Structure 1
Amino acid sequence: MGATRTLRLGLLGCLLLLPGLRGQEPAACARGWAALERGCYGVFRRELSWRRAEAFCQRFGAGTHLASVHSAEELRAIAGLLAARPGEDSEEEEEEEDDWDDGIWIGLHRPLGSRRWQWSDSSEVDYGYWHRQPERRRRACAALRDSADFMTWYSEACAERKPFVCKSSA
């Protein structure tokens, strides 16, 4: 196990313990999902359009959508989950890592006919970290940029197929 991977796994462990350190119990999450302060997060390699990814997330129950991000801390935690993806040392997984190069869907979108961005879970858009000002498109969706260690967002056509992050608040 390389030093980088060990560091990432240690960081991930700290992030998972953060709610407990603040006097909160981490949420009981489904198998394979990670408990962070704002809920449970599942990362999916399957490449889907934004709309299909949102529908996929909703199948996990009420309160589950593509991930909304409300703070720099939450963005860092999600980026940590993506950076600590399992199997990154194996050759078989290296081919799949190329999938991340096209970004990762999150729940932010600008619906057709709207000038405003909104989260798929209807929560308030109170935080943003755009790589550059989003392009003007009739309908657009936001993704995390792999080239920026998933710490910035960019606007993309919603029909593009990408891996995605689901978030459950339940």
Structure 2
Amino acid sequence: VMLSPMMAPTFSGLIFTCLLLTGLSQGQQDAADAPSARSSCPQGFALHGSYCYGLLGIIINETWNSAELQCQAYPSGHLLSLLNEAEAKFVASMIKEYPDVKCPIWIGLHDPNKNRRWKWSSNSLYLYQAWEQNFPSATTRNYCVSLSFESGELEREKYSYFFHLSSIISLHVLPEPLNTFDHLLTRIWE
């Protein structure tokens, strides 16, 4: 997954769609290292490692800031933070499975103070970087990042009010606890 410059959409009725992502704290573990406790995803969502992904809906004329606010309507929700290569590849491949979503997609990487200090809207550590060659540009002022549907690459966007067709939401959810009482009963009767 790489970052590259962004082109403006050419029509006015723009759509906002979300993918829901639930899972690991701060993304410091790969899917193979995921905790063994049970996790459940909402109906219609796909589990990948300790994350749930799913298409949520459509909103017209969504900006980066309003997309982030929409994501925050969910408990612990934020625009997606891509924290490792495995996650970035899975998200890119999943997006390509939606033939109607052929548009740039907001993610949570942004430069809130416009000082070239990138951060995730979820406050996750900004360790995974996959900028395309010659980006970010020292001469271009871009403050928000989107994922390109066509290339699966990440792109920088100059203005936070730029309209996009889609967004990805991430939601940190703790795994469901195992019922230890059932475990004890099973051991007693064995």
TM-score, normalization by structure 1 = 0.68
1:41 corresponds to: 53
Aligned to 2:162: 160
Structure 1 pair 141–38 and aligned structure 2 pair: CA distance change class (3 A): farther
Two-structure CA RMSD over aligned residues (Å): 2.6
Gaps of 5+ in 2: 1-29, 174-190
Kept in 2: contact 1:68–1:108 (CA 8 A): yes
- Is structure 2 residue 112 aligned with structure 1 residue 111? yes
Q: Alignment identity in percent?
A: 26
Match of 1:92? none
Greater relative contact order (Cα 8 A, min sep 6): structure 1 or 2? 2
Length, aligned pairs only: 137
Q: Which residue of 1 aligns with 2:122?
A: 121
Q: Tell me if structure 1 keeps the 8 A contact 2:110–2:143.
A: yes
TM-score normalised by the chain length of structure 2? 0.62
Check whether the contact 1:45–1:164 (CA below 8 A) recurs between aligned residues: no
Runs of 4+ in 1 over 4 A off after TM superposition: 18-23
Deviations 1:21-51 (A, max 9, x none): 9673563223343332242334454351111
Query: Whose helix proportion is higher, 1 or 2?
Result: 1
Deviation digits for residues 118-154 of structure 1 (CA, Å, limit 9, x no counterpart): 00000000112223412432x6100012231x2x211
Structure 1 position 83, deviation (Å): 1.2
Hey, what's the Cα distance between the residues in 1 that align with 2:131 and 2:38?
29
Going from structure 1 to structure 2, the CA distance change for 1:42 and 1:108 (only over 3 Å counts) comes to farther
Aligned equivalents of 2:146, 2:38: Cα separation in 1: 26
Question: Quick one: which amino acid aligns to residue 50 of structure 1?
Answer: W
For 1:70, which of 67, 83, 97 is the aligned residue? 83
Query: Is 1:54 matched up with 2:68?
Result: yes
